[in-house]
Chains A and B, each alone.
Chain A
Amino acid sequence: MSSFEPDPTLIARCRKGDTASWSQLVDRYRRLVWSVIVKHHMRSEDAEDVFQHVFATLVSNIDEINDENALASWLVTTTKRRCWRVTGQSRKSAERARSFESDSERSLDPVDTRDDPVESRAQLEKQLVREGLERLGGKCKDLLEALFGAGSEPNYTLIAEKLGIRIGSIGPTRARCLEKLSAILGRLGFSDTASASITPAASEDEE
């Protein structure tokens, strides 16, 4: 297992001016923020501006975070609001943005459920798995990311070369790593949100 620093620890260090902790925080949440932005189909330059804005808002308001454990939810909400504001093209988006105007953009409330709660939950679940992988660390993290991160059919030969393992050991290692990850996710509460249905992986590939 890797030495995983929980959010409250990183936030506390950021407040003291620790730039390394800030980098960790950006690395931890960069994909979450970007995944929200991607769903808004923005121009690339707008997307990058939103990305900067969200983290700029975070660094500006890090002293005011009351619930350090709700950072992921806050980032999702802040990113969505910013996306709606920048795009502002569809009437629906504009109405949503206006409905949020009364709230401070810097509000550090937990996730706002007035938008699509299923989508928000899916994004937070993905973040939970990212956190699980970060906690897992080591070769297990590398293997699982190599196998599933790209989304395409994994190239076992390349993965074996990259990770310095035999092709034949990928299957057993994958099982052990999934088992460890599953245990971590259970502790993080992931199983509480996951569906209880039993379906093959292939049917759940699509978001």
Chain B
Amino acid sequence: MTHTPHNPDHGPGSKVTIEQIAAVASGAAGSDLAQAVIAAAARDPHVGKVLTSFTHAVAAMRGDAAFEPPVDAVQRAKQLGARLAPRRAAQRHPLAVLGEAFDRAGAVVLEWINPDNGLALAGVRDDRGADLFEAVVASAQITIRAERTTSQNGIVRLVGEITRDDDMPIKAVLAVLDCSGIVLSTDSTDSLSMFAIALPRDSFEVVVSASAPDGTVHPTIVLPLGPDSPMNTRRGGSSE
């Protein structure tokens, strides 16, 4: 960058400094200086290029703070990544397939606890408009099919079945935990392998512990439900 000598009178043909160009681009210059710099820019392509560059940079920066999302929304996005990202490190772990499946489900299941918009879980099928979830968990040799439903009294439940690969019923205990690990609701599969478990608004994750009639114990499955801070806690708060 070539700095031209400062000339305080800003008269026609005067040189302009980098500070003066910056002042004009920033909108901090008076009309006399602005005219002098614009005139200099018209005469000298180098000045014109600098002025244009500064002006566009300033325009892009101006008011950018208005696009700052709510702090808690940013925090939740970070927490979600903090919970889900480390699972990817254990790619060869026997539960990797299961983990990835539920990671995806968990990302979408954010919508479960937002009944207002009518969307629901979609899970690994990537059919985000559906209320259905299905996961074939190869490492645990089980299949989970579930549907989110809202009962007439407004309680949101996860209703579904857990079966072995050969469609045989499986005995499983399900628990919904909050972010502190406190059990909010529990259920167990019936003789047909069906279950119906409530998803209170503070729900954080669903834990499924299954065992087959022959005594086979399947790996415990943890289904993440959303960010650490339950979404309902911000409903009444300020978003800005």
Residues of B contacting A: mostly = helix
> Given A17-B85, A198-B52, A204-B56, A175–B77 Cβ distance below 8 Å?
no
Inter-subunit contact A16/B64 (CB<8 Å): no
CB of B205 within 8 Å of the partner chain: no
Interface centre among A16, A53, A62 (most CB of B within 10 A): A53
> Given A19-B81, A129-B60, A175-B22, A49–B53 Cβ distance below 8 Å?
no
Counting chain A residues whose Cβ lies within 8 A of the other chain, the interface size class is 35 or more
Task: Report B65-100 residues with CB < 8 Å from chain A CB.
Answer: 65-70, 73-74, 76-78, 80-82, 84-90
A102 CB to closest chain B CB, in angstroms? 13
Residues of B within 8 A of A95 (CB): none
Residue of A14, A60, A86, A175 touching B104 (CB-CB under 8 A)? A60
Residue of B26, B53, B66, B104 touching A174 (CB-CB under 8 A)? B26
Annotate A1-42 by CB proximity to B: 1 below 8 A, 0 otherwise. Answer: 000000000000011111100110111001111110110000
CB of B117 within 8 Å of the partner chain: yes
A179 to B236, CA, bound (A): 45
Residues of A within 8 A of B81 (CB): 14, 19, 22-23, 25-26, 55, 59
Inter-subunit contact A51/B73 (CB<8 Å): yes
Residues of B within 8 A of A205 (CB): 27, 59, 62-63
Residues of A contacting B: mostly = helix
Interface centre among B85, B104, B108, B240 (most CB of A within 10 A): B85
Inter-subunit contact B114/A194 (CB<8 Å): no
Inter-subunit contact B77/A51 (CB<8 Å): yes
B64 nearest in chain A by CB position: A149
Q: Total interface residues on B, using CB and 8 Å?
A: 72
Inter-subunit contact B73/A48 (CB<8 Å): yes
A51 to B81, CA, bound (A): 13
Interface centre among B65, B76, B81, B106 (most CB of A within 10 A): B81
CB of A150 within 8 Å of the partner chain: yes
Inter-subunit contact B240/A178 (CB<8 Å): no
Residues of B within 8 A of A132 (CB): 57
A25 nearest in chain B by CB position: B81
> Given A23-B81, A198-B38, A34–B60 Cβ distance below 8 Å?
no
CB of A164 within 8 Å of the partner chain: no
A22 to B116, CA, bound (A): 29
CB of B41 within 8 Å of the partner chain: yes
A202 to B74, CA, bound (A): 32
A179 to B18, CA, bound (A): 8
Enumerate 8 A-B pairs (CB-CB under 8 Å) in ascending A order.
Answer: A26-B74, A30-B68, A38-B67, A52-B73, A60-B104, A129-B57, A151-B64, A201-B27
Identify the 7 closest CB pairs spanning chains A and B, nearest first. Answer: A151-B63, A44-B239, A17-B89, A22-B81, A175-B22, A56-B107, A17-B86
